[in-house]
A and B are shown apart, each in its own frame.
Chain A
């Protein structure tokens, strides 16, 4: 099963490499990884999506907790949560494809954020499944480049992950 694990991390040199290293060292898989400082510059918030059975995911959270730089860990998939990912996708857009792409982007509430005579760049925000669906819906349009941010997540309701 796919899990979204959120980590509060000391914003220290080497901290990120310890997290990433843990995954490779223990043979855990990383689907996506995002990290950036929080409103408190001494803390980073990191989101990892991983696929594994319950035992593996339990080990992942325990091992993450053991890292000295890790302040808090939560498996967001255990409760109600929101996930978001940003995608920028550059497409060849000539002739009637221009209208076609525009229409598809509108349906998915995407925005065209850059235009040239031959290309469109579309920005789309949503959960990963929505981004996948958009790519599938593009059908015959020719994709030049895809950039995805990886997943960020947050719990629904009043629950917060903080020190």
Chain B
């Protein structure tokens, strides 16, 4: 058996796990590992400019591929800089392996230079974590880390490695395990057949059904089964913010997004439904609105890989614990075999009702003198044929992107839903572009968010990552401002972005192309030009109406159907 040092084992194990890129930043505790990286060329290291960006790049790779991304950060400040990225992945159940350097094992606990208790700091935001105590455990720990991160309900795993575990002088036989056995961890591989049967009976008997799906369908690779089931039955589908793209957004049966900024028709349909099939969604507060008023006439079947997500906030009638793909497959078979068929008459009048709701609002917004952010997203959708990877930051622009970019494929909409991390967008776009060099990759952002990781423009230059930055510049922290307009009589406390940089010059100084767009008439030409520049990063600084609000917006603690439709009109 080959003898390797701990540092070499780290790199070799990543290679054997099929990892092509790792995203990271070196430091004292990782010097042995970085030396091992230097001496091989199978695993490529991408040097970011801030560790947060490394985690978001790894995270976005995972969101686009459903495979764990890998970040490598040093002890102390390197590790703490990664914390926001780990929490971002955790909240959205994204598989990720974060390797953190640690001080020498014999110094732990002594407040050594650049020591932080990373296992302690990250404990509430990881699926699991490991501390390497013996170098020879490195291969099996890394194997377990990937296994845990990618199976069951996915999530980030931290592997903390004290520097002495990677010493180049000590060598150990290297053997990468083929599989993992853990008596305390065994994710479920299929749902309970009796429960699935019950859900199918209810599904077929429903008169006003809605299929409500979340990120679990995307991470669970169940989009195909979802589409088949919905189309077989001719039932409406609504996706959460995390679930967009699982069902084609341009299809007639798609109601778009539901929840706080969901479509009028999606929220109305949910409220009036008599049966909800929830798949890989977690009934979170941004979806349900007031839980006591949630969908009063609906019975609910809920498929989720995580039993703790079921009946956590909303009690359901038929819980089904299992992977979305396997359960939906079984449902499809049962539907095909079933003697009972959906009540065609009831379903057609349900569609009639839904179409009326669509007519009533259907994503309309008012045009004005100034360019509207919605217009920009619609243009982005047009210019990229609805086929780009759209990586978003957090704020109004994120909601507009979710509402107006029609995603027809899963894994194309990459955003921080659960944590709502400003600064996510650019590194996410970089992580996707690196792995999908031929694809159009847009970063939809705002002048607030982009400045939270703007330093990564430098990384983009170094590694040739020609993403297109669509900066919806409203000169304000728009989402904060909107809440201040609605709840604080427009007292705009600290939500105005003063002293903005000249983004064009800024982009140019990093070696990229900048474009300023102030009039809607210029938008299409500029955007086409930007996307035509296949090998250049283009920063499009697009000035949009600062007064615009995101609508619909649910009335706090109301029912699903209680919404503001514009500044003056309420349901």
Interfacial residues, chain A to chain B (CB-CB below 8 A): 10, 13-14, 17-18, 21, 25, 55, 58-59, 62-63, 65-66, 68-71, 163
Contacts and interface: CB of A to CB of B under 8 A. Distances in A.
B119 interface: yes
Nearest to B308: A62
Given A13-B131, A14-B129, A18-B123, A71 B307 contact: no
B339 interface: no
Contact of B184 (A21, A55, A71): A71
A70 B307 CA distance: 15
A163 B183 contact: yes
A58 B311 contact: yes
Given A14-B129, A14-B131, A65-B307, A59 B312 contact: yes
A68 B128 contact: yes
B261 interface: no
B302 interface: no
B184 A63 contact: no
24 contacts: A10-B184, A13-B131, A13-B133, A14-B123, A14-B129, A18-B123, A21-B123, A25-B124, A55-B311, A58-B311, A59-B308, A62-B307, A62-B308, A65-B307, A65-B308, A66-B153, A66-B306, A66-B308, A68-B128, A68-B182, A69-B184, A70-B184, A71-B183, A71-B184
B120 interface: yes
Nearest to B155: A66
Contacts of A69: 184
Interface residues of B, number: 20
Contacts of B127: 68
B196 to A, nearest CB: 20
Contacts of A59: 308, 312
Interface string B100-130: 0000000000000000000110011001110
A62 B312 CA distance: 10
A10 B144 CA distance: 15
Contacts of B120: 17
B283 to A, nearest CB: 13
B124 A21 contact: yes
Contact of B148 (A21, A58, A68, A163): A68
Contacts of A63: 308
A71 B128 CA distance: 14
A65 B186 CA distance: 11
Interface string B212-251: 0000000000000000000000000000000000000000
Interface string B118-162: 011001100111010100000000000000100001000000000
Contacts of B312: 59
Contacts of A68: 127-128, 148, 182, 184-185
Contacts of B131: 13-14
Contact of A14 (B119, B182, B185, B307): B119
Nearest to B128: A68
A88 B123 CA distance: 35
Given A14-B119, A62-B307, A71-B184, 16 more contacts: A14-B131, A17-B120, A21-B123, A21-B124, A55-B311, A58-B311, A59-B308, A66-B153, A66-B308, A68-B127, A68-B148, A68-B182, A68-B184, A69-B184, A70-B184, A71-B183
A17 B308 contact: no
A10 B128 CA distance: 13
Q: Which 5 A-B pairs have the closest CB atoms?
A: A62-B308, A68-B128, A71-B184, A25-B124, A62-B307
Q: Indicate the member of A17, A55, A62, A69 with the most B CB atoms within 10 Å.
A: A62
